[in-house]
Amino acid sequence: MRPTAFHLERSWQGRTVDQETAGRPLSWQAAQAFAAEGAHVILDTDEPQRRAQRFDALAREQGLQDTVLQWATRDFGTITIREEAPRSGEPMGEGPTPSVPGSVALVGSGPGDPELLTLAAMRAIAEADVIFADRLGAAGDCLRLAPGSLIVDVGKKPGHHSMIQELINDQMTVFARTGARVVRLKGGDPFIFGRGSEEWQHLAENGIRVDVVPGITSALAVPARAGIPATHRGITRAVTIISGHEAIDGAEAAALVQLGGSVMILMGMGTLPLTQRALLEAGLDPATPASVIHRGFHGDEARCHSTLAAVAQDAADAGLTSPSIIVIGEVAGLHTTTADITDGL
């Protein structure tokens, strides 16, 4: 870029930067870099504020008052990068009203530690107009990463859903059709027991563009944090990830025993005694190592290392409840060799 005289119209700490010549969002850091190269940096607060007010009004029309964690009321704006300074007295303009449909990004927030959000996830959150966040998603970090976004709590708790799935699908469609950049923020990875594919199908059937931002799945990351690998040369070369909403039946247990390897169970604390019994009846050695890791990557993380024969009772005695990851297999016994490392993290 040819260096020219430039000035910053006013100080701004917003979340979105539009480069007029490229027609795509840029970060605040990128705007500063352009300015350092001599670009003329113009601030226009009207259009983003108008977007925020429009989506606030739509949320109220849709009856979302009880589920919104944050209304998009903070003053923020748009930085427009121009190679030439405007003529004296030239109005900055109100900015164009979006003429293209919005989009939905299915974003995985990882196992819980905000430092495990990917760069793509942070960018999608920062650029979002509306965020539909699960309880297990990084909803708290949205307040920091997207201070101008509308944040809707659609979190699911055991036995209680703040918003049923069909309504989540419909609300995402409504906002995207008005031009909103929507983020559907989910814990772990959206496509591992996250209903990501169901939401994608619904949105695609309604003509909404969908972007996917994979997340780090807790099924692998949480055990790894506890020193339990999913695979280990000479011990196992197979990993099975299971939803524990329903206990495995006899045929499934027999297949798991025949396959061998590591079994990672998500959302399985309520059915753990039944799963334990099925595996024992299918012939799995009662002495097989088994571990339960509760709220991995959180400050109150707790672990229980046991055997298949005792894991349900030991976990109950330790007070471990959902959300927890259950690991059954020889790899669960490897935590002792990495205890000094993981305890120091």
pLDDT digits (tens, 9 = 90+) for 287-304: 999 999 999 998 899 999
Among residues 190, 213, 236, the one where a domain terminates is 213
Model-level pTM?
0.74
Q: Is residue 52 part of a domain?
A: yes
Task: Give whole-number Cα distances, 277 to 84, 249, 262, 274, 311, in Å.
Answer: 73, 10, 17, 5, 11
CATH of the domain at 228: 3.30.950.10
Q: What is the mean pLDDT of the chain?
A: 80
Burial of residue 113 (number of CB atoms within 10 Å: 0-12, 13-18, 19+): middle
* Residue 340 burial (CB count, 10 A): 9
Among residues 195, 213, 231, the one where a domain terminates is 213
Given 44, 134, 153, 189, which residue is catalytic?
Answer: 134
Are both 184 and 52 inside the same structural domain? Answer: yes
**Range from 135-139, 145-149, 267-271 that averages highest in pLDDT:** 267-271
Q: What percent of the chain has pLDDT over 90?
A: 55
Question: Which pLDDT value is given to residue 65?
Answer: 83
134 as an active site residue: the answer is yes
Q: How far apart are CA 47 and CA 323, in angstroms?
A: 42
* Residue 91 burial (CB count, 10 A): 7
Q: Higher-confidence residue: 54 or 2?
A: 54
Are both 229 and 203 inside the same structural domain? Answer: no
Q: Is residue 32 part of a domain?
A: yes
pLDDT, tens only, 123-142: 999 889 999 998 655 556 77
Are both 233 and 297 inside the same structural domain? Answer: yes
Question: Which pLDDT value is given to residue 158?
Answer: 55
Are both 297 and 193 inside the same structural domain? Answer: no
Q: Higher-confidence residue: 32 or 238?
A: 238
pLDDT, tens only, 99-122: 457 899 999 999 988 889 999 999
Q: Is residue 90 part of a domain?
A: no
CATH of the domain at 191: 3.40.1010.10
Question: Which pLDDT value is given to residue 17?
Answer: 47
> Which parts of the chain are beta strand (E)?
16-19, 24-26, 40-44, 68-70, 78-82, 103-108, 130-133, 150-153, 156-157, 160-161, 181-186, 209-213, 239-243, 262-266, 289-294, 302-307, 324-328
Tokens 């011990």: give the residue: 235
Question: Which pLDDT value is given to residue 27?
Answer: 53
Given 163, 172, 267, 269, which residue is catalytic?
Answer: 267
Question: Residues 235, 330: contact at Cβ < 8 Å?
Answer: yes
Among residues 198, 213, 228, the one where a domain terminates is 213
Q: Higher-confidence residue: 144 or 21?
A: 144
Q: Is residue 138 part of a domain?
A: yes
Q: What confidence tier does 55 reach under pLDDT thresholds 50, 70, 90?
A: confident
Are both 230 and 206 inside the same structural domain? Answer: no
Question: Residues 69, 137: contact at Cβ < 8 Å?
Answer: no
Structural domain for 223, as ranges? 219-338
The residue among 313, 290, 293 whose CA lies nearest residue 303 is 293
49-52 long-range contacts, CB within 8 A, separation 24+: 49/75, 49/76, 49/77, 50/94, 50/95, 50/97, 51/98, 51/129, 51/179, 51/180, 52/76, 52/129, 52/148, 52/150
Q: Is residue 320 part of a domain?
A: yes
156 as an active site residue: the answer is yes
Q: What confidence tier does 40 reach under pLDDT thresholds 50, 70, 90?
A: low
18 as an active site residue: the answer is no
Strands 24-26 and 156-157: unpaired
Question: Which pLDDT value is given to residue 266?
Answer: 97
Given 56, 113, 156, 170, which residue is catalytic?
Answer: 156
Are both 66 and 204 inside the same structural domain? Answer: yes
Question: Which pLDDT value is given to residue 45?
Answer: 52
Are both 208 and 243 inside the same structural domain? Answer: no
Q: Is residue 194 part of a domain?
A: yes
Are both 111 and 230 inside the same structural domain? Answer: no
Q: Is residue 345 part of a domain?
A: no
| Structural domains of the chain, count | 2
Are both 208 and 225 inside the same structural domain? Answer: no
Are both 180 and 314 inside the same structural domain? Answer: no
Cis amide prior to 190 (ω within 30 degrees) = no
Q: Is residue 96 part of a domain?
A: no
Are both 30 and 120 inside the same structural domain? Answer: yes
Q: Is the pLDDT of residue 173 over 50?
A: yes
Are both 325 and 193 inside the same structural domain? Answer: no
